[in-house]
């Protein structure tokens, strides 16, 4: 008998416990099964497992559910390292062996390329690995004063809710930052604004420079300031504050003063590059795998002296400056003016001259505006494209024969939009997908980062 599709409107605890065999993982790290013609997404289940589950959200064609019991476990199931796994929503795959996580991400990439892009890569690249624990150098933590319990919670949100998880450590954060969670809870509880401090953004740079941006919604008292400064002195951190929008972020305190306080920075030794950055500016959360990613991108792009190369969505020049080290002339375009300003500073700091940065809304690219870039800067031999999750749809649609580069290296943080754009490049713009592979930028999460090489098909005359 088919179940009532409106049961999800009732108490999920009233839904029956059923059995399913898991076929695969979806892009949120949930097990996928099919029962009575419906697709069931089961949180906590792994491929090839037999589980019991209870639905908490029922629709006509699919259900979302949680595992009740694992009847036949996968041989790749492991014991999660973090004691908060299952409660905290930060990591969803700690129960799956680390290498198996990467294999599943590769399957997701291949499936999206096939089903959305209508293609296969000619070659699948070896996955790029980095550290699996203590890798996260940037994060945004929620803060909540719980009056009934007379305590403050600091951490990621609980899985599937807006509540802050009750945690005192985090295995994926840099260990020095994980060790700050409990002291932060204690210190914030002593503040007069304990209920007016909803968020802490953190960034870690080389040399163990740690910056905490406190989102402050009220005026600090003299005692509050004493507590914050004492915390910074004891734990060797810089404190910045934010009162409204991003433009209100400013340095507040560290031992010494702003002139002597070390600035956040990361380096790329392979290219003899150093990148200073402000704590609210975008950088990769995993600097170790960032180095591997750039090495791979440079091998695929193969920039050479005398070439003219465009780096779209360039940020602070993460790829632009390594490309310029080859002797190529490079144009880096980015939508945020503050990142372009930082990129120019880094180019000057690293004595790189064959580079130009500019501000451009790449989500509004047209054939005419792309032609204008080629007219102003010369036709580009190659592109490096590193867009946000929305992808580079308008950019790739704008390609016509006289603006088409010979090579495009596309770095993606969303395999679905990569596959969508690949469909345009291969099936409309005359490219072949020569290679693709995953980058394990976020171990223990379902996030899939990838890299792809597109090469223009040269027609024989």
Q: Is 449 exposed, middle or buried (0-12, 13-18, 19+ CB in 10 A)?
A: buried
Angstrom distance (rounded) from CA 413 to CA 458 = 29
Take residue 18 and report the two structure tokens written for it: 């059923």
| Catalytic option among 88, 91, 314, 413 | 413
How far apart are alpha carbons 120 and 110 in whole angstroms?
7
Q: Position of tokens 């980062």?
A: 449
The SS3 of residue 310 is strand
Written in H, E and C, the secondary structure of 112-131 is HHHHCCCCCCCCECCCECCC
> In which residue are the tokens 């959305």 written?
116
C-alpha–C-alpha distance, residues 356 and 343, integer Å:
9
CA distances to 102, 240, 244, 336 from 248, in Å = 39, 10, 6, 16
**343/302 Cα distance (integer angstroms):** 22
Active-site residue flag, 88: no
Neighbours of 134 (CB within 10 A): 15
* Burial of 277 (C-beta count, 10 Å sphere; 0-12/13-18/19+): buried
Element spanning 228, H or E: helix 222-235
Measure Cα distances from 121 to 90, 167, 238, 292, 413 in Å: 31, 42, 46, 21, 17
How far is it, in rounded angstroms, from Cα 361 to Cα 370?
A: 12
**Bridge-partner residues for 390, per DSSP?**
none
Question: Of 377, 431, 409, 403, nearest to 303 (Cα)?
Answer: 409
d(C-alpha 406, C-alpha 425), whole Å: 12
Catalytic residues: 413
């Amino acid at each position: 008998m088919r179940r009532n599709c409106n049961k999800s409107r009732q108490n999920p605890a009233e839904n029956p416990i059923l059995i399913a065999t898991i076929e695969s993982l979806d892009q949120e790290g949930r097990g996928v099964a099919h029962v009575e013609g419906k697709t069931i997404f089961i949180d906590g289940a792994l491929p090839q497992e037999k589980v019991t589950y209870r639905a908490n959200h029922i629709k006509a064609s699919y259900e979302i559910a949680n595992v009740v019991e694992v009847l036949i476990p996968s041989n790749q199931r492991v014991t999660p390292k973090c004691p908060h796994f299952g409660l905290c929503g930060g990591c969803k795959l700690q129960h799956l062996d680390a290498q198996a996580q990467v294999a599943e991400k590769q399957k997701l990439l291949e499936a999206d390329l096939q089903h959305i892009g209508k293609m296969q890569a000619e070659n699948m690249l070896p996955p790029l690995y980095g550290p699996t624990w203590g890798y996260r150098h940037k994060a945004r933590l929620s803060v909540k004063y719980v009056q009934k319990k007379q305590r403050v919670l600091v951490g990621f949100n609980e899985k599937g809710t807006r509540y802050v998880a009750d945690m005192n450590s985090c295995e994926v954060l840099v260990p020095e930052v994980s060790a700050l969670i409990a002291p932060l809870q204690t210190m914030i509880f002593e503040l007069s604004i304990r209920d007016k401090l909803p968020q802490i953004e953190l960034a870690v740079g080389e040399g163990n420079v740690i910056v905490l941006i406190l989102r402050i919604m009220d005026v600090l008292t003299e005692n509050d300031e004493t507590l914050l400064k004492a915390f910074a002195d004891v734990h060797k951190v810089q404190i910045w504050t934010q009162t409204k929008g991003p433009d209100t972020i400013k340095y507040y305190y560290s031992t010494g003063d702003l002139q002597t306080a070390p600035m956040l920075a990361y380096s790329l030794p392979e290219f003899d590059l150093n990148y200073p950055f402000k704590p609210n500016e975008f950088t990769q959360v995993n600097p170790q795998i960032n180095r591997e990613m750039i090495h791979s991108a440079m091998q695929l792009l193969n920039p050479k002296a005398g070439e003219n190369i465009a780096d779209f969505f360039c940020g602070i020049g993460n790829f632009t400056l390594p490309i310029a080290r080859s002797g190529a002339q490079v144009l880096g375009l980015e939508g945020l003016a503050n990142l372009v300003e930082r990129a120019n500073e880094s180019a000057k700091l690293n004595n790189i001259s064959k580079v130009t940065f500019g501000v451009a809304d790449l989500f509004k690219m047209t054939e005419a505006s792309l032609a204008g870039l080629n007219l102003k800067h010369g036709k580009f031999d190659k592109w490096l494209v590193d867009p946000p999750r929305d992808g580079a749809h308008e950019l790739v649609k704008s390609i016509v024969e006289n603006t088409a580069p010979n090579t495009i290296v596309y770095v993606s943080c969303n395999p679905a939009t990569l596959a969508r754009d690949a469909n345009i490049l291969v099936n409309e713009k005359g490219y072949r997908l020569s290679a693709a592979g995953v980058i394990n930028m976020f171990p223990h999460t379902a996030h899939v980062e990838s890299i792809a090489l597109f090469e223009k098909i040269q027609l024989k005359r």
